[in-house]
Amino acid sequence: MTRRTLILALVASVVALPAAATEGAVQRAGRAVERGAKRTGEAVERGAHRTGSALERAANWTGERLRRAGRWAFGD
């Protein structure tokens, strides 16, 4: 190997290492964002499900009250 080839190989490896490290950091950051988005989506779904269940219970309760009032007022 000539001196020039050795220097070029050394420079190439010095340049390649930070690029590889940066690429790994970008991938880790991307995965973290993806996990955060997934958690947020799941939390939104759970909240919507709870809200829907609460609304459904309230509607059932109101409907039952109206049925009872109708039976009381007008009979079966």
More confidently predicted of 11 and 60? 60
Share of the chain above pLDDT 90, in %: 0
pTM, whole model, 2 decimals?
0.44
d(CA 46, CA 39): 11
pLDDT of 22 above 70: no
